[in-house]
Every structure is written in structure tokens, then in C-alpha cells.
Amino acid sequence: MRLSDPAVQAYLGTKDVAVLATLRPDGAPVATPMWFLPTTDAVFMISVADTHKVAHLRRDPRVSVAAESTGPEGIRGVVVQGRAEFLADGPERRDLAARFLAKYDPRLERLWGARAMPADRVMFRIAPERVRGWGLSG
């Protein structure tokens, strides 16, 4: 399965929150619910720069991202395993920040206090190495 699969994209497009799993220095996993932006080749997330999860990612970029739901259609979900890569400021990151604002409007603008990503935030791309999905129709 690939992140670009239409069923995966359709499912992730309906989700506001996915769970990001990072690794502490002792190797223990830490799961954090996160807002996210899926594209056909990566999952993007934004965080405050001085959080534990960002320190974990800088030390060990291996991650897992999971989204799951239950409903009349049954149990459906996607897990993406890969590596996090931080994006430097530039046109790509500004375009993605605008897409985050559109997805999470007006909540994200209130959180940021502006329409631009604050300087104390980082954005990272999760480049998938493995994608699993279940209960998806496509």
C-alpha cells in the first residue's frame, strides 16, 4: 500500500487528528495526538520547537503515525511508518502553512495569533517507508 493510494488519501482527508509516535532517549515510545496534513508523498505536522517530541525527532527521526475510526462502515485506519525531516523556511513551508490554516481555520489562526506560522514553530515531513491500511474501500 502507498500513501498516494486514492483510498488512503480519501480516508486521511476525513481526519483532523492522527497520533504521532516518537521515541524517548531510553527507547520508550511516546504517542501524541497531532493535527496533520497528508499529501500523496508525505505527512506534514507542525509543533512548538521546544517540545519533547521535537527533541525526540531531532535525536531519532523514526516515527509512526496512526489514524483509525469505527462506524457503520466498520473499523478503518491507516498507519504510516517513516522518518521525520524538518523543513527550513521557504516557499514550500509557507505554502504548507497556508494549507494547514485552510484545514484548521479558524482554530489555528487563533492559536498562532496570526495567519503566519510563528517563529517558535517547526514543521516536519514524515517520509513514508511503510504504509498499512485496513477497512478502506477504493
CATH number at residue 125: 2.30.110.10
pLDDT (tens digit per residue) in 48-93: 999 999 999 999 999 999 999 998 889 999 999 999 999 999 999 9
Residue 23 lies in a domain: yes
Residue 62 lies in a domain: yes
Residue 116 lies in a domain: no
Say what the pTM is: 0.95
Total domains present in the chain: 1
Residue 94 lies in a domain: no
Would you mind telling me the total number of residues written for the chain in this entry?
A: 138
Cell of 46: 507542525
Phi, psi of 91 (to 5 degrees): -60, -40
pLDDT (tens digit per residue) in 96-120: 999 999 999 999 999 999 999 999 9
Residue 56 lies in a domain: yes
Residue 79 lies in a domain: yes
State the residue range of the domain holding 30. Answer: 6-89+121-134
Buried b (16+ CB within 10 A) or exposed e, 37-60: bbeeebbbbbbeeeeebbebbeee
Please compute the mean of the pLDDT values over residues 124-135 and round it to a whole number: 97
